[in-house]
Structure 1
Amino acid sequence: MRNIKLIIQYDGTKYRGWQKLGDSDKTIQGKLEDVLSKMTNEKIELIGSGRTDAGVHAFKQVANFHTESKMSEEDMLDYLYRYLPQDIVVTEVVEVDERFHSRYHVKGKKYLYRIWNAKRHNPFLRKYCTHVPEPLDIDLMRKAAEYLVGEHDFSSFTSLKSKNKSKVREIFSIEIKNDNELVEIMFHGDGFLYNMARIMAGTLIEVGAGRMDADSIPEILARKDRSLAGPKAPCSGLILYDVEY
């Protein structure tokens, strides 16, 4: 049995997220499994490094599957490029050790959140940026971001309802770049809870717009109350940028 690792890029605009759903064929995992199953003449179950929400994009998603197929990696790559929809592209196919698991072996992830900060939106970037018309104070956003770096209980920054799962994660760094109208926030951490990157981005936007105090972040973390953090930022601005092993 071979273990095959895929590196995948996708535009998530018209999909209901990564995870396959029984009532919809509009998922990234579902599209990939359908093509992989036809390619191998086997029922393929694809393991992703993690889920992305509906409308979220990926510059580098990682997944793996097991197969008895003797097809070469290059032939697999060509087949997937030919039969997948144009908004999903597998950029790399590699046979890996049988013990490799794309989710359990993750050491870190990077999420990029992009904001078009101008009075009018950019029609060419509207699917890949969140439009924020009011001016943003980047220095205040950076100040707030510093409080989020480190190991914390991120209960205030997730939509996850379970009380049995740990909400503790470590954020290694948050970098905020401003290039004229384009603001980019890079979150780098050991893992991210459900909606965590979008809620952190929404909170930083509120701080930048002057609707929240940068120095309120420590108390928001300490209170472990989702209602105290900012809104969940729109999905269109979020990109799964990298997965580290």
Structure 2
Amino acid sequence: MTKKVVLIIEYDGSAYKGWQAQKYDVPSVQENLEKALSVIANHKVSVVCAGRTDSGVHASAQVVHFETEVERSERSWTLGVNTHLPSDISVVAARYVDEAFHARFSALSRRYRYVIYQSALRPALLGKGLTWTYKTLDVEAMKEAARCFLGTHDFSSFRAVGCQAHTPIRTILNFSVQQLGQYIVLDVRANAFLHHMIRNFAGVLMTIGAGEQPVSWAKQVLAAKDRTKGGITAPPTGLYFVDAEYPEHFNLPQRPLGPHFLPYVEEPDYALSR
């Protein structure tokens, strides 16, 4: 009898060309995970994730599912699989779920955090897990600018040129900007995201925070519906997939929001009512 298993995965994406398995032996998170699962399951395993991440992007709670006909304990799907994974990928939770569950199509929303480290001098620690800026950023200006992104809009100005999404229309449910010591955290939840969307948000907000553009520029970029008007794309190093929301009846494992090196981050201070 076929069973469906959901896993919560944490990974440092620095060494990988993104989540998705690719041709020509390009390193990916998916390929490493499927190989490890196949050892424990004793058959070839294919996984589906909640949201694919790009080269250099990380995850503290990526959600995946796979199907198997073998009976293994949840401990085997965590500790057992981890023994066959590289040290920068870890299964942090596992559970058998209803056959109707789908990691991608059952998701109600997805959530990312973009972590900026503000310091006059570059950091040596966590260098590939942060986006460093030597500039002093005005967090209040960034907060005000981020408000214009809430709601349903055409986000063409924030999608990569090669984005393959059928439509640029997306709904931003939450968008907060918080300062935690030298960290500035952009916390964004949406029904779905476009390619490079969060990194392009970060690029605009960091430009505004540095005083190089007024707060009103964010709304101008959004209204332009033109990627060439949107400024720089921020580096992938500070970006983390931190959560996917599903209907409660699936009873998925719950994890603290990451990345785990951050102190407690309050829930977004403003949101779109659902």
Q: Same fold (TM over 0.5)?
A: yes
Aligned length: 245
The match for 1:239 is 240
* Residues 107, 244 of structure 1: 8 Å contact kept: yes
1:221 matched to 2:222: yes
The match for 2:68 is 67
Aligned with 1:69: secondary structure? coil
The match for 2:105 is 104
Q: Distance in 2 between matches of 1:195 and 1:211?
A: 22
Q: Distance in 2 between matches of 1:14 and 1:135?
A: 30
Aligned with 1:13: secondary structure? helix
* Residues 204, 218 of structure 2: 8 Å contact kept: no
Sequence identity, in percent?
Answer: 35
* Residues 149, 173 of structure 1: 8 Å contact kept: yes
The match for 1:192 is 193
* Residues 205, 218 of structure 2: 8 Å contact kept: no
Query: Which whole-Å deviations, capped at 9, do the CAs of 1:128-155 have from their partners, x for residues lacking one?
Result: 1111101111111111101111111111
The match for 1:132 is 133
Q: Distance in 2 between matches of 1:125 and 1:43?
A: 35
Q: Distance in 1 between matches of 2:163 and 2:90?
A: 34
Aligned with 2:184: secondary structure? strand
Match of 2:231, as an amino acid? G
Match of 1:157, as an amino acid? F
CA separation of 1:170/1:28 partners in 2, compared to 1, >3 Å: closer, same or farther? same
The match for 2:271 is none
| Per-residue deviation, 1:74 | 1.8
Match of 1:51, as an amino acid? R
The match for 2:85 is 84
Query: Which whole-Å deviations, capped at 9, do the CAs of 1:50-92 have from their partners, x for residues lacking one?
Result: 1101111101000000111112222222211211111111011
157-166 or 167-176, which moves further after superposition? 157-166
Q: Distance in 1 between matches of 2:31 and 2:114?
A: 25
The match for 1:8 is 9
If the length of structure 1 is used for normalisation, what is the TM-score? 0.96
Match of 2:66, as an amino acid? F
Please give the root-mean-square deviation of Cα atoms over the aligned residues, in Å. 1.4
* Residues 150, 171 of structure 1: 8 Å contact kept: yes
Aligned with 2:241: secondary structure? strand
* Residues 112, 187 of structure 1: 8 Å contact kept: yes
| Per-residue deviation, 1:242 | 0.9
* Residues 200, 230 of structure 1: 8 Å contact kept: no
Q: Distance in 1 between matches of 2:50 and 2:71?
A: 25
Match of 1:235, as an amino acid? P
1:94 matched to 2:105: no
The match for 2:176 is 175
The match for 1:211 is 212
User: Which structure 1 residue ranges, 5 or more long, are not aligned?
Assistant: none
The match for 2:160 is 159
| Per-residue deviation, 1:192 | 0.9
Q: Distance in 1 between matches of 2:25 and 2:165?
A: 29
Query: Which whole-Å deviations, capped at 9, do the CAs of 1:132-179 have from their partners, x for residues lacking one?
Result: 101111111111101111111111001154687111111112111112
Q: Distance in 2 between matches of 1:164 and 1:24?
A: 26
If the length of structure 2 is used for normalisation, what is the TM-score? 0.86
| Per-residue deviation, 1:42 | 1.6
User: Which structure 2 residue ranges, 5 or more long, are not aligned?
Assistant: 247-274
The match for 2:231 is 230
CA separation of 1:163/1:192 partners in 2, compared to 1, >3 Å: closer, same or farther? closer
CA separation of 1:58/1:164 partners in 2, compared to 1, >3 Å: closer, same or farther? closer
CA separation of 1:140/1:188 partners in 2, compared to 1, >3 Å: closer, same or farther? same
Query: Which whole-Å deviations, capped at 9, do the CAs of 1:68-118 have from their partners, x for residues lacking one?
Result: 111222222221121111111101111111111100111111111111111
Match of 1:220, as an amino acid? V
The match for 2:149 is 148
